[in-house]
Homo-oligomer: A and B are copies of this chain.
Amino acid sequence: MNSRTALAELPQIERRTLSETTYDALSDLLASGRLAPGDRLSLRQTAAALGVSVMPVREAVSRLVADGALEVAPNRAVRVPIMSAAGFRALAETRMAIEGMAASRAAAQRSQGQLAAIRRAEAAFRLLAESERPDGARAVALNRDIHFAVYAACGLDPLREIIARLWLKAGPIINLDLRAHPARLERGSAVRRHAEVLAAIEARNGPAAAAAIAADIDDAAQFILSRGGLRDEPS
């Protein structure tokens, strides 16, 4: 047992399956809005693009279908769901309720370190939004960072996972829009809401944090609905 101590220092080899890697890749595509509602997805084509067999893609897609982030049409074609305006409104309302609750708990429970992480994320987003010609893709990523820095501070892991899934469903709509029209940032509404969230969490003011997060979500939802890109009638 001479090497007992040396062995203890070995890092665990992380074992990732191809399915997981594929799932992450597709999730990222969806969450960042690079896959738009209505886009079709071929198992074989994506498998070829990733350099794997169809098997891992099947498992990843079936998980995303279970999450509601993808759907298989009765034609058996896999595509990004086209949400009705009513469906989008219900999703936004659910997000306001749940993410607001998470923000409220975060305000009450956050540690110093978590607060610092939120501060950093907020500063990074503000810096980008106020720059000359904001990059849509980066804005999407930084917006996600700040939101999840807040949700990580709520202390309830299951709640954080639930929110991650909600973002997967809303991502293609929200972020496609933000990607395509980063000019929306110039209205400054997002920056203002984020500042309100940060201030409320600093002050340990739960209701204010919930209201600010809900307002942030509502602002974006109203903006997208007002643009009228979503159909009103379910097919």
Q: Chain A interface (Cβ within 8 Å of chain B)?
A: 15, 19, 58-59, 62-63, 66-68, 74, 87, 90-91, 93-94, 97-98, 101, 105, 155-159, 161-162, 165-166, 169
Contact = CB atoms under 8 A, between A and B. Distances in A.
Contacts of A161: 68
Given A67-B66, A101-B101, A161-B68, A94 B156 contact: yes
Contacts of A59: 58-59, 62
A71 to B, nearest CB: 13
13 contacts: A59-B59, A62-B63, A90-B155, A90-B156, A90-B158, A91-B158, A97-B101, A97-B105, A97-B156, A98-B98, A101-B101, A158-B169, A162-B165
Number of copies: 2
A45 B101 CA distance: 43
A66 B63 contact: yes
A66 B159 CA distance: 15
Contacts of A63: 62-63, 66
A68 B164 CA distance: 14
A95 to B, nearest CB: 8
A159 to B, nearest CB: 5
A67 B63 CA distance: 9
Contacts of A93: 156
Contacts of A87: 157
A217 to B, nearest CB: 13
Contacts of A58: 59
Contacts of A159: 94, 97-98
